[in-house]
Structure 1
Amino acid sequence: MITLTVSLQVVPGHRDAFLAAIEENAERSFTDEPGCRYFDVVCDLDDDHHFVFHEAYDDEAAVEAHRSAAHFKVWRAAAAEHVVPGSQVNTLSRRLFHHS
Structure 2
Amino acid sequence: MFSLVVQMQVRPGKREQFLAGMSANAEASVRDEPGCLRFDVSAVEGDENRFLLYELYTDAEAFEAHKRAAHFAHWRTIAGEVVAEQVNTPGALLVSHAAEGTR
Q: How many residues align?
A: 98
Quote how far apart the aligned CAs of 1:73 are. 0.3
Q: TM-score by structure 1 length?
A: 0.96
Quote how far apart the aligned CAs of 1:91 are. 1.0
- Counterpart selection for 1:93 from 77, 91, 94: 91
Q: What RMSD over aligned residues (CA atoms) do the two structures have, in Å?
A: 0.5
What is the CA–CA distance in structure 1 between the aligned matches of 2:21 and 2:55, rounded to whole Å? 16
Q: Which runs of 5+ in 2 are unaligned?
A: 99-103
CA offset digits 1:57-85 (Å, max 9, x no partner):
0001100000000000000010000001x
Matched residue, 2:17: 17
What is the CA–CA distance in structure 2 between the aligned matches of 1:60 and 1:2, rounded to whole Å? 6
Matched residue, 2:35: 35
Matched residue, 1:83: 83
SS of 1:77's equivalent? helix
CA offset digits 1:34-73 (Å, max 9, x no partner):
0000000000011010001000000011000000000000
SS of 2:54's equivalent? strand
Q: TM-score by structure 2 length?
A: 0.94
Q: Which runs of 5+ in 1 are unaligned?
A: none
Matched residue, 1:60: 60
User: Which has the larger strand fraction?
Assistant: 2
The one-letter amino acid of 2:17's match is A
What is the CA–CA distance in structure 1 between the aligned matches of 2:46 and 2:95, rounded to whole Å? 28
